[in-house]
Amino acid sequence: MAALELDDGTIHYQTSGDGRPLVFVHGGWMDGTAWEPQVDHFADEYRVVTLDVRGHGSTGATDADQYSIELFTDDLEALLSRLEGDQPILCGLSLGSMVVQEFLDRHPANASAAILGGAVRSMPPVELPTAMKSLWSPLPALTTSLSLSGSTGTFQSMLQSIQATTGKRWLSVDPDVRAEAIDGVGDISAAEYRKIFDALYQYDPPELTGVETPTLVVHGDQEAPLVKRQGSQIATDVADGTRVELSDSGHLVNLDRPRAFNRVTANFLEKVTAA
C-alpha 211/C-alpha 237 separation (Å) is 8
pLDDT by residue (tens digit) across 52-94?
A: 999 999 999 999 999 999 999 999 999 999 998 789 999 999 9
Residue 166 has a pLDDT of 85
Question: Do residues 46 and 21 make contact, with C-beta atoms less than 8 angstroms apart?
Answer: yes
Residue 45 has pLDDT above 80, yes or no: yes
Class of domain 2-274: alpha beta
Q: How confident is the model at residue 119 (pLDDT cuts 50, 70, 90)?
A: very high
| Residue 206 identity (one-letter amino acid) | P
Residue 169 has a pLDDT of 82
Residue 275 has a pLDDT of 83
Q: How far is CA 266 from CA 26, 37, 124, 189, 215, in A?
A: 19, 13, 31, 36, 13
Q: What's the whole-number mean pLDDT along residues 163-189?
A: 93
Q: What's the whole-number mean pLDDT along residues 220-232?
A: 96
**Ramachandran angles phi, psi of 116, nearest 5°:** -120, 105
Contacts of 255 (CB under 8 A, 6+ apart): 34, 37, 172, 174, 177
Residue 26 has pLDDT above 80, yes or no: yes
pLDDT by residue (tens digit) across 235-261?
A: 999 999 999 999 999 999 999 999 999
Residue 128 has pLDDT above 80, yes or no: no
Q: What's the whole-number mean pLDDT along residues 141-164?
A: 94
Q: How confident is the model at residue 266 (pLDDT cuts 50, 70, 90)?
A: very high
Residue 129 has a pLDDT of 73
Q: How confident is the model at residue 133 (pLDDT cuts 50, 70, 90)?
A: confident
Partnered with residue 50 across adjacent β-strands are 14, 24
